[in-house]
Amino acid sequence: MNNPFFFKETPMKILLLAVSGLLLYAVLCINASHAGQWLGPRQGQEHVLRQTDFGQPLAANPLGSGENIKVMELSRNARSSNVLVQVRDREPLHRHADSDITVFLLRGDGGMRIGKEALPVKAGSVIHIPRGAVHAYINRGPEPAAALVVYNPAPGPKDRILVADKP
């Protein structure tokens, strides 16, 4: 099939590509600036749902000037726990004895160390960390990072165990 519009550089084709690129850029920017929403149970009321824009609890509970990490519980039952976590600089190296965790990075740009490997992560990344895996998030952005973290099952009081960094 010979389609001269597809193969030739025409002013109309250049204009359509430019407009398409601008529209795609605008959609990506709008989505990147929106932290997302929580649709889940109210604390202590397993079957009563609430919908919350993540930006609201993050704005209402900012990290204090001397705080590095802040954790806000959204919901908890015997099967899972859902928390919002803010990190200014980095987490200490640690592991979880009771829970597998899934991290949904809402804001931030940095690295996730799991074992000896460090991988780049950014807003929109989803990271699964199996129970017992040594890990830490390192924020490399200018603003505090924020993540929705799902623990499965819900952690006990001695779930988080700090680990010494060995060369």
For 88-136, write each residue's pLDDT tens digit. 999 999 999 999 999 999 999 999 999 999 999 999 999 999 999 999 9
pLDDT at 26 over 50: no
Q: What is the pTM of this model?
A: 0.71
Confidence of residue 10 (pLDDT cuts 50, 70, 90): low
pLDDT at 28 over 50: no
Evaluate whether residue 167 is within a structural domain.
no
**Domain span at residue 28?**
1-33
What does the alpha-carbon distance between residue 64 and residue 115 come to, in Å, rounded to a whole number? 30
Cis peptide bond upstream of 153, omega within 30: yes
Residues 11 and 49 in one domain: no
- Give the Cα separation of 144 and 84 in Å (integer): 12
Same domain for 88 and 6: no
Residues 24 and 85 in one domain: no
Strands 37-42 and 45-53: antiparallel
Does residue 143 contact residue 86 with C-beta atoms inside 8 Å? no
- In the numeric block, the tokens 């060995």 are attached to 166
Question: How many whole angstroms separate alpha carbon 130 and alpha carbon 12?
Answer: 52
